[in-house]
Amino acid sequence: MAANRRKLVAVLILLTALSLALFGVVSSSQPADNYRAAQENFPDVSPGDWFYTYVVRLVTVNVVNGYPDGTFRPQGNITRAEFAKMTILAIGERPSTASSSFRDVANIYWAKGYIERAKELNIISGYPDGTFRPAANISRQEIAKIVMLAGKSSPATSFRADFRDMPSSLWSWPYILKAKDLGIISGYPDGMFRPFNFATRAEASKMVAELLDAIAPPTLTLEIISVTSPVGQGEPANLIARTAPGAECNVTVIYASGPSDAEGLEPKTADPDGLVSWTWIVGTRTTPGKWPIIVTATLGGETITEETSFIVTE
């Protein structure tokens, strides 16, 4: 019994070492070092390859690494355990210290922490029989679902036959369509998605790299698109601005008597396209002249301001 236990531990240690060498080893290397490694040390990843920029990006941010022989093997398959680790690293999470929820994932398994964290975040759920099947190759449709859940994107609700091999009976179509809408997947030139195919390391790298773009916080910008000018006393004025989606926005119209408290100038949240609009009535006693308007947008603790002006006439 003891001898068998020692053999099992030895096998697990070997598998762990191999898996860590293949995917997502987080080391003390600086991103610049990883970037150079991705460019210089992968003889099978060239600038002309469609997946080149995706692989380089993921190596740069410590989501994937190559093999000990210096190759990346972009056409090789990726397992469910490996992709769970890629996903957790990509979204900036740490592995869980909780015990495994799956009967085929031992607590000493190299990817247990990543698999368990993915389960805690409702990114993966496993199979009805209580297994996760970590060593099984992951399919393209499974990746589509995981990437959408990791990015906290709601699945599509209306079916479209965007791919010739994606019928409405396919369980994964809501995730595939949503991933397509977000630009994370595009399918093949022949109009197929091939949902049952095992994903290659190159394909997985593309989807995870696109996920990073999808979940990246939007850059806070602010542009005043239009403002009604001139506008007469007692008439409506309108201002439209564009900023980051979800930004909290305020507008202040300053007359000779001070800031306006007119109805319609309340704080607003930018819509999914980043647009925000205010409409208010210029007071009948407002002094004619050129008056400043100050717009602010706040997101993630950052605030920016833009100013314009409008002319009030009698």
Same domain (yes/no): 232, 126:
no
Does 285 map to a domain?
A: yes
pLDDT at 215: 75
pLDDT at 13: 45
196, 201, 236, 298 from 265: Cα distances, Å = 53, 52, 12, 16
Same domain (yes/no): 53, 98:
yes
Does 293 map to a domain?
A: yes
Same domain (yes/no): 24, 95:
yes
Which residues constitute the domain of residue 277? 222-313
Counting the structural domains of the chain, the total is: 2
Q: What are phi and psi of 175, to 5 degrees?
A: -75, -40
Same domain (yes/no): 106, 240:
no
Classify strands 236-243 and 258-259 as parallel, antiparallel or unpaired: unpaired
pLDDT at 27: 33
1, 36, 181, 278 from 230: Cα distances, Å = 90, 57, 41, 16
pLDDT at 40: 52
Does 65 map to a domain?
A: yes
Which among 185, 215, 245 is the end of a domain? 215
Give the integer Cα–Cα distance in Å for 201 and 51: 10
Burial class (CB in 10 A: 0-12, 13-18, 19+), 254: middle
CATH of the domain at 296: 2.60.40.1930
DSSP H or E stretch at residue 295: strand 289-299
Give the integer Cα–Cα distance in Å for 313 and 256: 14
Amino acid letter, 266: E
Tally: H helices and E strands in the chain: 8, 9
pLDDT at 17: 45
pLDDT at 264: 95
Same domain (yes/no): 120, 204:
yes
pLDDT at 213: 81
Per-position pLDDT tens, the chain of length 314: 445 544 444 444 444 444 444 444 333 333 444 545 555 568 999 999 999 999 999 998 899 888 888 899 999 999 999 999 999 999 999 999 999 999 999 999 999 999 999 999 999 999 999 999 999 999 999 999 999 999 988 999 999 999 999 999 999 999 999 999 988 998 999 999 999 999 999 999 999 999 888 777 678 999 999 999 999 999 999 999 999 988 999 999 999 999 999 999 999 999 988 999 999 999 999 999 999 999 999 998 899 999 999 999 99
Same domain (yes/no): 126, 240:
no
Same domain (yes/no): 12, 104:
yes
Same domain (yes/no): 267, 126:
no
Classify strands 236-243 and 302-313 as parallel, antiparallel or unpaired: unpaired
**Tokens describing residue 16:** 């762990």
27, 158, 192, 253, 288 from 257: Cα distances, Å = 61, 53, 65, 11, 12
8 Å CB contact between 297 and 244? yes
Does 246 map to a domain?
A: yes
